[in-house]
């Protein structure tokens, strides 16, 4: 392959990375408002039963807001102490589970135990489904069905709610719901939810 072609491809890849970063962190006018009366407190603990990669991206958004959080994809109930809010990423990845050397059944047990411990310690539970349509496969569905109905507040990317699952759940369980256009909208939601300046 000619050097010029390689350089062109490298420039295209670099441009895509820059564009993606700007989309994530520049903010957006599309984010819905956090429902009236809904708030959460710092410090935040976060985990991702199902080992979906979105956890890392959400952590980066908190970092850009200069708000450190305790993030551990393998967080156990004993690790949530001292937190005021527990964020659970609602989504699973078969590849992520395999790479982490864990199975879905064990992750579901861990998620259930985390929710129970958070309730025991009166820690607010926030569920985030930011993977969109790509995270609505069989693995994610099992985790969503288990965990989402137990959340205090849900933040969901619109294309992950095409079938209205989260809207229906929100209505039936009276769980406040914010729909976002893309992951970049989480920045505005977090500023409002946690009163971040």
Query: Could you read off the pLDDT of 53-63 as tens digits, one per residue?
Result: 899 999 999 99
Average pLDDT score over residue span 30-34: 71
Q: Is 170 helix (H, G, I), strand (E, B) or coil?
A: helix
What is residue 97's predicted lDDT score, i.e. its pLDDT?
85
* Higher pLDDT among residues 112 and 95, named by residue: 112
* Higher pLDDT among residues 63 and 7, named by residue: 63
Average pLDDT score over residue span 133-156: 92
| Least confident piece of the model among 81-90, 94-103, 120-129, 156-165 | 94-103
**What is the Cα–Cα distance from 24 to 99, expressed in whole angstroms?**
26
Q: Is 19 helix (H, G, I), strand (E, B) or coil?
A: helix
Reported as a pLDDT band with limits 50, 70 and 90, residue 31 is: low
Whether the pLDDT of residue 18 is over 90: the answer is no
DSSP state of 33: P
Whether the pLDDT of residue 75 is over 90: the answer is yes
- All structural domains of the chain, each given as residue ranges with its CATH number in brackets, are 29-193 (3.40.50)
Reported as a pLDDT band with limits 50, 70 and 90, residue 190 is: very high
Average pLDDT of the chain is 86
* Higher pLDDT among residues 142 and 23, named by residue: 142
Average pLDDT score over residue span 168-183: 96
| CB contact burial 101-123 (16+ within 10 A = b; e otherwise) | ebebeebbebbeebbebbeeeeb
What is residue 135's predicted lDDT score, i.e. its pLDDT?
77
| pTM confidence score | 0.84
**What is the Cα–Cα distance from 126 to 139, expressed in whole angstroms?**
20
């Amino acid at each position: 392959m000619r050097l010029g072609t390689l350089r062109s491809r490298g420039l295209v890849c670099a441009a895509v990375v820059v564009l993606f970063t700007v989309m994530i962190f520049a903010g957006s006018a599309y984010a819905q408002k956090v429902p009236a009366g809904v708030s959460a407190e710092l410090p935040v603990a976060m985990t991702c039963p199902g080992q979906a990669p979105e956890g890392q991206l959400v952590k980066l958004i908190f970092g850009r807001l200069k708000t450190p959080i305790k993030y551990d994809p393998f967080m156990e109930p004993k690790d949530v102490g001292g937190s005021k809010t527990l964020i659970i990423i609602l989504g699973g990845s078969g590849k992520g589970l395999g790479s982490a050397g864990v199975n879905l059944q064990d992750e579901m047990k861990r998620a259930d135990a985390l929710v129970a411990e958070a309730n025991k310690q009166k820690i607010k539970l926030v569920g985030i489904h930011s993977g969109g349509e790509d995270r609505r496969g069989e693995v994610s569905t099992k985790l969503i069905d288990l965990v989402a109905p137990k959340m205090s507040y849900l933040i969901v990317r619109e294309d992950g709610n095409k079938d209205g699952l989260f809207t229906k759940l929100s209505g039936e369980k009276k769980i406040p719901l914010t729909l976002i256009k893309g992951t970049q909208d989480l920045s505005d939601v977090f500023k409002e939810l946690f009163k971040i300046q």
